[in-house]
Structure 1
Amino acid sequence: MLLVYTHKITPRLKFTFKHICKRILGLDVKFTSKVEDFIAHDSLKMSYTKQPLSNELFVRSHHLLFEHGISDIDISVLQWENTKGFFPTGERSDLPFDIFAASFYLLSRYEEYLPHVKDDFGRFMAKESLAYKHRFLSQPVVDIWAYKLRDVLQERFPEFDFPNRSYKVQPVIDVPMAYYFRKKGLLRSIGGTLADIGRFRFKQLYQRYSVLMGFKRDPYDTFKWIVTKQKQCDSKFIVLFLIGDYSTYDKNISINKKDFVSLIKSMADYCHVGIKASYFALEDISVLKKEKLKMEAVINRDLQAVRHSFSKLNLPQSYRNLVELEIHRDYTMGYIDTLGFRAGTCTPFQFYDLDFEVQTPLQINPYHCLDFALLKYHSELDKREHLQKLIKEIKEVNGTFTPVFHNYTFSNIDRWNGFRSLFTLILDSANEG
């Protein structure tokens, strides 16, 4: 167990140390403000305060973990060996940067509470982030910093045997539209037919009726392939179905259709099933609650996982709604157009509510690659290279790689050519040495 001496034990401090020490390094951690308790402890220990007590392992603290609320912080990002760091500590500190304050800044999404430019959907975009501006978005810096702390602790306490963790893959399959042509109802099928004719999409018109008459499989119906892949994989896929009402933004088939219910039930036999919360559920907790109850009625178990439509988050309200409805895992934390680490980590962490200064039971599972973000790389070779770079970064800290793909990504539609093999590449990365 690591004992940390500090002048003030705060919720921010506990939250950050527990993520770095317990979740990443596998170390139990306790805190004390009593010098005598600190001196008496005969295992791993460090002080985190303004001045060292004597010659113990010491990291000079920035004020961020001892504050309340949000303020505009002046941040200077500097090179630190193979990565970047901020909140420099000075000469006497055993680490050149306060990795705890810096980690809290990234994990709490502090910058997303500050004024920023949103996109047309009201999303926080990668270009607004500190990590993008200072070119460390492609690294899980919080995990890298944790391993630097581990190195310093190992040097000071060579007899201590640190636990090891292993690289994992946690695939997420998003299902905003289970079928492209099937089960849409008469009116939507007629509307689609007229649109195909009006836009001279005769190839699609032919495909539409080949599917509707049962001659061909629906292009979005890739679920047999997904189940086959799941059977070959140790970690359970998270499959998230949109079951919200039809709207401008959400166009899945109705949850009242028996075939759709059967599909969800059959996927739940092999994978973990959750919901892709509809666009309007983001703003209205009553809509979210209705969708939660509908899914629980289908799968006959408590809903555990959710992801918001369009990867949109309204912090902190989106996450407070999940906490209130006792939904315990979120998969929305990532960027739609850029590979990388929105929260600076490849380790799931708890949501910290900055307004209430409390760690909540909601586990945030940040994703690092959305299939759409790979489309900007034109060749399959280019896509593979960027994916492999990402995998390498996560493997170096034995983290969890969470990619988000859609059911239609595995279709034979031209723009998604080669994506089955990219998904397979990700799954295979968990079995490589």
Structure 2
Amino acid sequence: MLQFSTSELSWLCTILKERFGLCFMLDQSLSGLKLSLVGLPDSYILFPKLEEAFHQSRSDFPCSKWNATKAGWVSVLGDPLPAPCVSELPEPLIEQKTHHTVIHYDILGLTYWMLNRIEEIGRTDLDLHGRFPATSSHAYQHDYLERPVVDEWLHLLGQVIQKVWPSVSIKKHQFSIKLSHDVDRPSRYAFRTLKPLLRAMAGDVLKYSNFKGAIIAPWIRLKSRNHLHHNDPFNTFDWIMQQSEANNLTSAFYFICGGDHLNDADYQPEDSRIRQLLRQIHLRGHEIGLHPSYDTYQNPAAIQQEADCLLRVCKEEGIEQGGFGGRMHYLRWENPVTLQSWEDAGMTYDSTLSYADRPGFRCGTCYEYSAFNVVTQKSLLLRIRPLVVMECSIMGAGYMGLGSGEAALQKILEIKDVCRRVDGCFTLLWHNSELYNIALRDIYKRVIS
């Protein structure tokens, strides 16, 4: 019979405590997995069947749906719940007995599989950047990527908990927004040598039809020796912070601190212009974080080195924070090596986990949660902060290709509303270099308001 390990059960109890604010016990027997409350052991919830697929790295299994409303329960999104791993669910799905309730769907297995990205371990069907793409995922193939399926099922589990233990109070959550900005290019012109500068000027004309930008580029480059020039189209930091402050939000800016790949940054964190920017961000009460360079996602030593670099520069500038988190460059992430690298580097959280090619809920949730290394079977101090939307996933021509018009705005707002309806966190990545015109800024302002 399939069983969870002791460490997996402990981690699941942690996840349930974070979600419901209650202390649970999980026990396994031949009858299934029993969930009980510490201090109230006489009643319990039984999951009689654990699904083997939720412990396997694969996507080729069925998906059913369950109509909670028809069965007398509440679907938080109002639609039938996707039920990965099964082609058909028994009726009734939830049976209330004298001293316990039986749930004939492996909600805890689904939670384990989605939150720990079991599906992705050791996969070889990767994109040209070595990433597991959305299009290979079970969620995309069965049309629930834009639904936080774990949050939906845990909402249902919360209803069962309330019926089994009517005297307890379940933790209430509030919708929130987390804004982050990967600083791949803090300036369009300041750090470029002659040939790259000429290429940027050509791009201004050919790609953006920005003749004025091409004309003033050399002047901006000349005037950017001591600080980032306010007319540089990528120097949107002050504007971003203004928008955040106007909406009582905090922005997190993630900086690249190394790397020599073509896709890496053209700046160094030790540069006086970057140091000045770091000080400005900190003085205004916003957050500084790490954006490990392109080739680090399989290299723990490199992530450690770049984390140390960021912390050293911040210390030299008198910048102190409660912790440092961030996101991998290009969303390159391999389980569990990248996860463990963040832990070993002493980072507080990792906000990499969204797909580059599609927005949505890669982890099946929009809640932050405790990380777990499924290979070493150890719970980590690291927090996973799932990324829900990256602007270029929706707008970029190589991805959804919705451009910078109303279609893109409505898609972002649609996903934001899903996060709101499950009382979760809408985590948005918007690069500072992708706010260079009025249309983009208008969408951004409408999204965060």
Return the TM-score normalized by structure 1: 0.83
Per-residue CA distance 1:212-256 (angstroms, 9 max, x = gap): 354971110001112212322434221101121443121332233
Q: CA deviation at 1:8?
A: 7.1
Is the counterpart of residue 76 in structure 1 residue 62 in structure 2?
A: yes
Higher mean C-alpha deviation, range 119-128 or range 244-253: 244-253
Cα 1:298/1:73, change in 2 over 3 Å = closer
Which of 262, 265, 279 pairs up with 2:276?
262
Is the counterpart of residue 317 in structure 1 residue 337 in structure 2?
A: yes
* Matching residue of 1:344: 364
Q: Distance in 2 between matches of 1:402 and 1:31?
A: 31
Q: Once the two structures are aligned, what percentage of the paired residues are identical?
A: 19
Which of 284, 287, 295 pairs up with 2:299?
284
SS of the equivalent of 2:103 reads coil
SS of the equivalent of 2:174 reads coil
**Any residues of structure 2 matched to 1:160-239 within 5 Å, and which?**
160-184=168-192, 188-193=193-198, 196=201, 203=211, 204-214=213-223, 217-239=231-253
* Matching residue of 1:60: 48
Q: Distance in 2 between matches of 1:290 and 1:360?
A: 20
1:230–1:271 contact (8 Å) kept in structure 2 = no
Q: Distance in 2 between matches of 1:346 and 1:324?
A: 25
| Counterpart code for 1:76 | P
Q: CA deviation at 1:179?
A: 0.5
* Matching residue of 2:6: 10
Higher mean C-alpha deviation, range 92-101 or range 194-203: 194-203
Q: Distance in 2 between matches of 1:40 and 1:393?
A: 30
1:370–1:404 contact (8 Å) kept in structure 2 = yes
Q: CA deviation at 1:101?
A: 0.5
Per-residue CA distance 1:62-85 (angstroms, 9 max, x = gap): 0559x9x75668733101122201
Q: Distance in 1 between matches of 2:180 and 2:311?
A: 19
| Counterpart code for 2:250 | K
Q: Distance in 2 between matches of 1:105 and 1:222?
A: 39
Per-residue CA distance 1:258-287 (angstroms, 9 max, x = gap): 111111121122211011111122233332
1:178–1:252 contact (8 Å) kept in structure 2 = no
Q: CA deviation at 1:106?
A: 0.8
Cα 1:94/1:299, change in 2 over 3 Å = same
Cα 1:357/1:45, change in 2 over 3 Å = farther
Cα 1:27/1:424, change in 2 over 3 Å = farther
Q: Distance in 2 between matches of 1:393 and 1:354?
A: 29
2:189–2:217 contact (8 Å) kept in structure 1 = yes
The list of structure 1 runs, each at least 4 consecutive aligned residues, that deviate by more than 4 angstroms after superposition, is 6-9, 32-35, 37-42, 44-47, 69-74, 87-93, 194-202, 213-216
Cα 1:162/1:40, change in 2 over 3 Å = closer
2:259–2:294 contact (8 Å) kept in structure 1 = no
2:148–2:361 contact (8 Å) kept in structure 1 = yes
Q: CA deviation at 1:322?
A: 1.4
1:268–1:299 contact (8 Å) kept in structure 2 = no
SS of the equivalent of 1:286 reads helix
Is the counterpart of residue 426 in structure 1 residue 412 in structure 2?
A: no
Q: Distance in 2 between matches of 1:139 and 1:410?
A: 28
Q: Distance in 2 between matches of 1:260 and 1:64?
A: 50
Per-residue CA distance 1:142-170 (angstroms, 9 max, x = gap): 11101101112223333433221100111
RMSD: 3.2
Gaps of 5+ in 2: 68-78, 96-100, 224-228, 396-400
**Any residues of structure 2 matched to 1:246-261 within 5 Å, and which?**
246-261=260-275
1:38–1:45 contact (8 Å) kept in structure 2 = no
Higher mean C-alpha deviation, range 311-320 or range 417-426: 417-426
* Matching residue of 1:125: 133
Which of 113, 119, 135 pairs up with 1:111?
119
Which of 22, 28, 33 pairs up with 2:23?
28
Which of 429, 433, 437 pairs up with 1:408?
433
Q: CA deviation at 1:364?
A: 1.1
| Counterpart code for 1:27 | L
Cα 1:74/1:125, change in 2 over 3 Å = closer
* Matching residue of 2:84: 86
Gaps of 5+ in 1: 1-5, 48-56, 429-433
Which of 251, 267, 286 pairs up with 1:271?
286
Which of 391, 400, 404 pairs up with 1:371?
391
Q: Distance in 2 between matches of 1:80 and 1:401?
A: 26
2:59–2:137 contact (8 Å) kept in structure 1 = no
Per-residue CA distance 1:104-133 (angstroms, 9 max, x = gap): 111111110153411111100001111001
| Counterpart code for 1:296 | L
